[in-house]
Amino acid sequence: MMTQIALTLHSDGLSDSATQARLRQLAREIEARSDAKTELARGDATPGTKGDAVTIGTLLMTLMTSGAAVAALNVLKSWVEKDKTISFSLKRSDGTEISVNASNMEDAEKLVADLGGEAGEG
């Protein structure tokens, strides 16, 4: 199993720079607690700017095992339990997308369970 998920952090109360700082913190925590690999999502460069453009608030997670997916989900769960003002969008490579917040963690758990099913298909 190797699955890539785009994870986007949402919060009305955070500036773009604060969102990016939180996202980097989240990436470190996910990598420390699972065998998932993370990288900031890159977007199209804005004319007149230097370097790669970063898609604000979005992280690409590469999950090597279903165990990594479960561990990463547990990190997200702890984040939304600590701060009910944030939510996440998770988008699989097949286009399936869900929003995760404090009130619908079961949906995220189903998405992760479905990832395990994908592993058996290949």
pLDDT in tens, 56-114: 889 999 988 888 888 988 899 899 889 888 999 988 888 888 888 878 877 777 777 77
- Whole-angstrom distance, CA of residue 110 vs CA of residue 100: 11
Residues forming beta bridges with residue 42, ordered by sequence position: 54
71, part of any domain: yes
Look-up of token digits 């952090």: 9
110, part of any domain: yes
48, part of any domain: no
The domain containing residue 104 runs over which residues?
3-42+53-121
47, part of any domain: no
Looking at residue 41, its pLDDT comes to 86
Identify which of 4, 11, 1 has the alpha carbon closest to the alpha carbon of residue 100.
11
62, part of any domain: yes
| Per-residue DSSP letter, 47 | T
CATH number, domain of 110, equals 3.30.70
- Inter-residue contact 63 to 3 (CB < 8 Å): yes
Write down the pTM of the prediction.
Answer: 0.79
86, part of any domain: yes
What is the per-residue pLDDT across 4-44, written as a single tens digit (0 to 9) for each? 899 999 988 888 889 999 999 999 999 999 989 999 888 65
Query: How many folded domains does the chain comprise?
Result: 1
80, part of any domain: yes
21, part of any domain: yes
- Inter-residue contact 27 to 8 (CB < 8 Å): no
